[in-house]
Amino acid sequence: MNCQHPPALTWDIFCHVIDNWGDLGVCWRLASNLAARGQRVRLWADQPEPLDWMAPGARSGACSSIEVRHWPRSDPAAPPPELPASDVLVAAFGCEIAPGWVAALQPDSAPGEPRRVWLNLEYLSAEPYVERCHRLASPVMSGPLAGRTEWFFYPGFTPATGGLLREPGLMAQRAAFERDDWLRSQGLPDQGHGPRVTLFCYEPDHLPALLHDPALQGAHWLVAPGRPAAALERAWDGSAAAQRHPLPHLPQTGFDRLLWASDLNLVRGEDSLVRALWAGQALVWHIYPQQDDAHHLKLEAFLDWLEAPPSLRAFHRVWNGVVDAPLPPVELAAWQACVLAARDRLLRQDDLATQLLGFVAEKR
């Protein structure tokens, strides 16, 4: 096995924080994955402040291979900085980077030099179009960047996509994880005191019903701050045989271990869904609502890939408001078996950072 790192390149990753910080979380994980493989990264974010709790020390240079820089995206007149050119430019989630910035950070390569690579790292989906569009070229036909090519790179769940973020050694860490020790270190009840439920959601209408699910009686609800805590506060009437444990903002490593320690993970967005898959516990995904209910198709595509049993499919549809029906009962054992089987399929595929490095080497 060749364990050598690929040649060290400089990457510029741009992140426009839209809401809920999930986009920034994905970008930091990507930067960390690349740095672990010997790459140098400049992470540009228009709102980098949440990194102070998400990745403590990130902005002060705790990782010498990652430089966090403020991106004045909202200021059209902001001049591009004078920095050494990067080898790879990544527009995360299709964010728009001013042409002058692209040209400054990625000037045309001199004859005989390796080509610079410009990537559009897209949103995660299990829909069929992802496999069709992955690795496609998007030539720039006009304007100051005419003649350049931007490449579409799609994360995904199948071998024909770019894969998912997974740091080296993650599964070994998961296997060595001592759940009760970690729970006690956080001041939380261990597994001898009833099931644990991580709540990281939006505002599901059926949360009050879930509190009374027979499989979750005596449960300890481990509640993320912000919208999840507010949703549970509205749903909580004191009649359920359960306890709630409000949590502070956790660093990414702590959030991962929270998912490892829970029996049911109610997650939302992109980053927490992927981390719940690696956790290998029962999960339910609260998908981000989109106009014209476009997220319904995205949810169904994910459930198809997951090979979700009927009970898990029905629960997702009600939880996400796709159908108007009573909330089906929770089936922890069947749902966890489904997630473990899906994780096994994913582990046979190369992770996102590995595939990105291979793609860049091919295009240079």
Q: The domain spanning residue 196 has which CATH number?
A: 3.40.50
Give catalytic residue positions: 23, 270
Give the residue-averaged pLDDT of 48-58. Answer: 96
Answer whether residue 4 is part of any domain: no
| Residue 170 pLDDT | 97
Q: What is the DSSP string of 261-295?
A: H-SEEEEETTHHHHHHHHHTSEEEEEPPP-GGGHH
Residue 50 vs residue 76, higher pLDDT: 50
- Domains in the chain, number: 2
Q: Return the SS3 of 139.
A: strand
Answer whether residue 221 is part of any domain: yes
In angstroms, the CA 296 to CA 40 distance is: 38
Quick check: 249 and 56 in contact, CB under 8 A? no
Residues 232 and 332 in one domain: yes
Residues 303 and 355 in one domain: no
Please determine, for residue 182, whether its predicted confidence score (pLDDT) is greater than 60: yes
Q: Return the SS3 of 106.
A: coil
Residues 143 and 174 in one domain: no
Most confident of 57-61, 161-165, 292-296: 161-165
Residues 99 and 174 in one domain: no
Going across the sheet that includes 66-70, the strands are: 66-70, 40-45, 10-15, 88-92, 117-121, 149-153, 137-139
Beta strands in 224-347 (DSSP E): 242-246, 264-268, 282-286
Around Cβ 324, how many Cβ atoms within 10 Å?
8
Tokens of 141: 């036909």
List phi, psi (to 5°) of 140: -90, 120
Task: Report in angstroms the alpha-carbon separations of 197 from 21, 46, 169, 194, 245.
Answer: 22, 33, 26, 10, 10
| Residue 305, burial from CB neighbour count under 10 angstroms (0-12, 13-18, 19+) | middle
Task: Report in angstroms the alpha-carbon separations of 301 from 56, 308, 352.
Answer: 35, 11, 20
Quick check: 261 and 174 in contact, CB under 8 A? no
Please determine, for residue 203, whether its predicted confidence score (pLDDT) is greater than 60: yes
Give the residue-averaged pLDDT of 262-273. Answer: 96
Alpha-carbon Rg for the chain, nearest whole angstrom, is 21
Percentage of the chain modeled with pLDDT above 70:
99
Domain that holds residue 207: 170-347
Residues 328 and 185 in one domain: yes
DSSP assignment letter at 92: E
Answer whether residue 3 is part of any domain: no
| Residue 5 pLDDT | 64
| Residue in 340, 258, 259, 270 with CA at minimum distance from that of residue 299 | 270
Answer whether residue 147 is part of any domain: yes
Answer whether residue 121 is part of any domain: yes
| Residue 293 pLDDT | 78
DSSP assignment letter at 212: T
DSSP assignment letter at 116: P
| Residue 111 pLDDT | 87
Each residue of 208-261: pLDDT tens digit?
Answer: 999 999 999 999 999 999 999 999 999 999 888 899 999 999 999 999 999 999
Answer whether residue 39 is part of any domain: yes
Answer whether residue 5 is part of any domain: no
Give the residue-averaged pLDDT of 266-290. Answer: 95
| Residue 1 pLDDT | 42
| Residue 6 pLDDT | 75
Quick check: 106 and 98 in contact, CB under 8 A? no
Give the residue-averaged pLDDT of 150-169. Answer: 97
Residues 140 and 178 in one domain: no
In angstroms, the CA 197 to CA 211 distance is: 10
User: What's the pLDDT band for 3 if we cut at 50, 70, 90?
Assistant: very low
Residues 150 and 201 in one domain: no
| Residue 287 pLDDT | 92
Residues 67 and 134 in one domain: yes
Residues 342 and 354 in one domain: no
DSSP assignment letter at 7: P
Residues 152 and 110 in one domain: yes
Mean pLDDT across the chain, nearest whole number? 94
Residue type, 92: A
| Residue 96 pLDDT | 93
Please determine, for residue 181, whether its predicted confidence score (pLDDT) is greater than 80: yes
Residues 214 and 156 in one domain: no
Quick check: 320 and 299 in contact, CB under 8 A? yes
| Residue 4 pLDDT | 57
| Residue 19 pLDDT | 75
Answer whether residue 97 is part of any domain: yes
Residues 190 and 334 in one domain: yes
